[in-house]
């Protein structure tokens, strides 16, 4: 048994957390995983979540959810993506199931894609969240890439992206980050989204949105749904993976949603039944607690208002840290341009540091980040920003 099993390589993101936890240095800084911290570097439980937990505690039971999860949670989640008064929701054209956060939603979709479009491929941006590659690989969907990030400008390689969309075979699947692109922090402008939508439509491609950071780009979940709304206006049939890990701080609850926009209600019923059938042999039905927290918050106007306020506080703290990190690097007299730190948005800064420079940060300064140079701005605080800037300056001299 198992004699041929070799140790798996470390995960490029979660492996960084493991290394950080093993480090005994009092100076250590974790800007690896995309998980929000307050200005003392502590994980945060949102006030709206604490209040929802208090309300839930009284009438909790531990029964199974249906295979598709909490209907109430899914309903509220669709409104965030498709719009509060979406006709598509009213027309019941969206097949949607609760998913095990964003990862689970992507994986369920990838399996669905493989089952019903077995010869299809997925176009993935370069770069992307490392786990996207694992997800579609394990679902046995071949992967292609499209241009996204332009290393010289540290912005979007828009022309090359459009060319790749045009050159892909008609009816291809495209994975898009709805907002706050991970790892680059580079999002298309509204105008660029309109053009992307136009070309994707012209080629009959299918757009699948991973929306793991709704609220973290602008501080407002409604504004962060802009790309999706543009695609809806243009009449696309899209799919969306939504997650509450970041914007409700429910990382460990694994609560999210997969939705697929269909032609009509009949098709949506069929698609949903197939999504449930994919879920059943994998995990039967999703966990209940996180879904209850989400539905309690979103169905209560006061709690929802409180949530929106708290999302903005998180997004604003990150923006403040971008300014502070850039300011400190400039104060140190770094001759390099650090403008991209404040140009990029969302939880991450794609710093441009090389893997070797990142290794030096870790070995000499106990600073932990992924080797692609991604800095999780959520881990930067008033207490560590000077230390971080100084270390970055040292390794980039």
CB of 130 to ligand LMR, least distance (A): 7
CB of 33 to ligand LMR, least distance (A): 4
Cβ closer to ligand LMR: 33 or 225?
Answer: 33
Cβ closer to ligand LMR: 241 or 389?
Answer: 241
If you write DSSP's letter for every residue of 4-56 in order, what string do you get?
TPPPPPPPTTHHHHHHHHH---TT-EE--S---B-TTS-B---HHHHHHHHHH
331 catalytically annotated: no
Q: How far apart are CA 215 and CA 221, in angstroms?
A: 4
* Interactions with ligand LMR, residue window 31-60 (CB under 6 A): 33-34
Q: Is 275 in the site for ligand LMR (CB under 6 A)?
A: no
CB of 12 to ligand LMR, least distance (A): 9
Q: Which of 161, 248, 223 is nearest to 197 (CA)?
A: 161
CB of 374 to ligand LMR, least distance (A): 8
Which one from 210, 272, 307, 338 is the annotated catalytic residue?
210
Cβ closer to ligand LMR: 98 or 128?
Answer: 128
Cβ closer to ligand LMR: 13 or 241?
Answer: 13
Cβ count near 288 (within 10 Å): 21
Q: Is 350 in the site for ligand LMR (CB under 6 A)?
A: no
Q: Are 111 and 135 in contact (CB under 8 A)?
A: no
CB of 131 to ligand LMR, least distance (A): 6
246 catalytically annotated: yes
Q: What is the three-class DSSP state of 397? A: coil
Torsion of CA 383, 385, 389, 391, to 10 degrees: 50
Cβ closer to ligand LMR: 15 or 352?
Answer: 15
Rg of the chain taking only CA atoms, in angstroms:
21
- Extract the tokens encoding 128: 């992307």
Q: Is 13 in the site for ligand LMR (CB under 6 A)?
A: yes
Residue with nearest beta carbon to ligand LMR: 34
Interface with ligand LMR: number of residues (CB under 6 A) = 6
Cβ closer to ligand LMR: 12 or 352?
Answer: 12
Which one from 129, 193, 307, 338 is the annotated catalytic residue?
129
Binding track over 172-211 against ligand LMR, x by CB under 6 A: ----------x-----------------------------
Cβ count near 127 (within 10 Å): 18
Instruction: Kindly report each contact of residues 8-11 with a partner whose C-beta sits within 8 Å and lies 24 or more positions away, as own/partner.
Output: 11/130
CB of 34 to ligand LMR, least distance (A): 3
210 catalytically annotated: yes
CB of 16 to ligand LMR, least distance (A): 9
Q: What is the three-class DSSP state of 246? A: coil
Which one from 114, 154, 226, 246 is the annotated catalytic residue?
246
Q: Which of 353, 342, 288 is nearest to 320 (CA)?
A: 342
Rounded to 5 degrees, φ, ψ at 274 are -70, -35
* Interactions with ligand LMR, residue window 15-34 (CB under 6 A): 33-34
Tell whether omega for the bond before 312 is within 30 degrees of 0, i.e. cis.
no
* Interactions with ligand LMR, residue window 122-161 (CB under 6 A): 129, 131
Q: Which of 125, 29, 48, 22 is nearest to 378 (CA)?
A: 29
Q: How far apart are CA 79 and CA 92, in angstroms?
A: 12
Cβ closer to ligand LMR: 324 or 375?
Answer: 375
Q: Which of 161, 158, 131 is nearest to 143 (CA)?
A: 131
Interface with ligand LMR (CB under 6 A): 13, 33-34, 129, 131, 182
Residues serving a catalytic function are 129, 210, 246
């Amino acid at each position: 048994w198992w004699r041929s099993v070799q140790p798996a390589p470390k995960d490029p993101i979660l492996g960084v957390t493991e290394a950080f936890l093993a480090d005994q240095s009092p100076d250590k800084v974790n800007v690896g995983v995309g998980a929000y911290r307050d200005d003392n570097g502590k994980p945060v439980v949102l006030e709206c979540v604490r209040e929802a937990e208090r309300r839930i505690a009284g009438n909790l039971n531990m029964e199974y959810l249906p295979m598709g999860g909490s209907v109430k949670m899914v309903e509220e989640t669709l409104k965030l993506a498709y719009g509060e008064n979406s006709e598509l929701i009213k027309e019941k054209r969206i097949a949607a199931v609760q998913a095990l956060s964003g990862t689970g939603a992507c994986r369920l979709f990838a399996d669905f894609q493989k089952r019903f479009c077995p010869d299809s491929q997925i176009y993935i941006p370069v770069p992307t969240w490392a786990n996207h590659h694992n997800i579609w690989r394990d679902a046995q969907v071949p992967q292609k890439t499209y241009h996204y990030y332009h290393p010289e400008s540290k912005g979007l390689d828009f022309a090359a992206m459009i060319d790749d969309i045009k050159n892909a075979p008609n009816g291809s699947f495209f994975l898009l980050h709805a907002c706050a692109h991970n790892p680059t922090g580079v999002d298309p402008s509204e105008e660029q989204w309109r053009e992307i939508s136009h070309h994707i439509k012209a080629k009959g491609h299918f757009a699948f949105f991973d929306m793991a950071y709704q609220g973290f780009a602008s501080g407002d979940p409604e504004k962060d749904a802009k790309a999706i709304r543009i695609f809806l206006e243009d009449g696309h049939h899209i799919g969306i993976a939504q997650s509450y890990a970041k914007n409700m701080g429910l990382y460990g609850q694994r609560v999210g949603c997969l939705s697929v926009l269909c032609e009509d209600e009949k098709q949506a019923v069929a698609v949903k039944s197939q999504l449930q059938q994919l879920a059943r042999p994998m995990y039967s039905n999703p966990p209940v607690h996180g879904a209850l927290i989400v539905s309690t918050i979103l169905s209560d106007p006061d709690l929802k208002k409180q949530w929106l306020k708290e999302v903005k506080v998180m997004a604003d703290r990150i923006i403040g840290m971008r300014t502070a990190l850039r300011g400190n690097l400039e104060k140190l007299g770094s001759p390099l341009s650090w403008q991209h730190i404040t140009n990029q948005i969302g939880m991450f800064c794609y710093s441009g540091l090389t893997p070797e420079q990142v290794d030096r940060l870790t070995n000499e300064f106990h600073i932990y980040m992924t080797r692609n140079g991604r800095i999780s701005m959520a881990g930067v605080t008033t207490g560590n920003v000077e230390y971080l800037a100084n270390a970055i300056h040292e390794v980039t001299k």
